[in-house]
Amino acid sequence: MQKPELSLVGKLDSGLTKGLCSMLASLKVGGLWLLGLLTLASLPWIIFEYGDGLADISPLEWSFMPVLALLLWRHIRYCQHFAIGFWRGLSRLLVAQGIMTAVGMVLFGACVGLLAKTEHPDELLRMLIQEDPLDKLLAFGIVLLALYLAIPKSAPTSLLRPTTLHARVEPEVFTPAKEASV
């Protein structure tokens, strides 16, 4: 059963909806990409926070850097294996970092909101200002987890689909082969 064609107003409405949805989707991906880029770009300032060079690096940060390098190497190898390409692989990495950072910010905001409703909000301010090694461990863990989860799992669908449809070719049977079989 064929569906009736949409009227001109229906076509305009459908096109407007499709355009707005694609614009919002690109804004979402762009925002997550930018948030992931800012997260990765802030790592040197988190690691070298006091400006003392290599003397500034704690044992936690020393253990973070080789794991980060290994996970980056792993990500690059998977991108090469599945023929993802540099920019698409970088985009996957930055979007994953952006998602994890956004989730971390939402959880942090929820915790602050719950703690702000307590009887002593000055204790909350003291807790937020105070530096805790657990905060740095959590921040590094989120970066490493996002990097671990960002690898491609399969080739892009554009590479899986054939580009041209091949017509079925029937084999030809030559007359000498027909006479030999009789």
Which residue, chain included where needed, has tokens 């409703």? 117
Residue 79 · residue 89 · CB < 8 Å: yes
Residue 124 to residue 110: CA distance in whole angstroms = 13
What band does 181 get if pLDDT is binned at 50, 70 and 90? low
Question: What's this model's pTM, rounded to 2 decimal places?
Answer: 0.71
- Measured CA to CA in angstroms, residue 16 lies from 11, 12, 13, 22, 29 at distances of 8, 6, 5, 10, 20
Closest CA to 68 of 29, 39, 95, 30: 39
Per-residue pLDDT tens for 47-74?
Answer: 888 778 887 788 888 899 999 999 999 9
Per-residue pLDDT tens for 94-103?
Answer: 999 999 999 9
Percent of the chain with pLDDT over 90: 44
pLDDT at 164 over 80: no
pLDDT of residue 33: 94
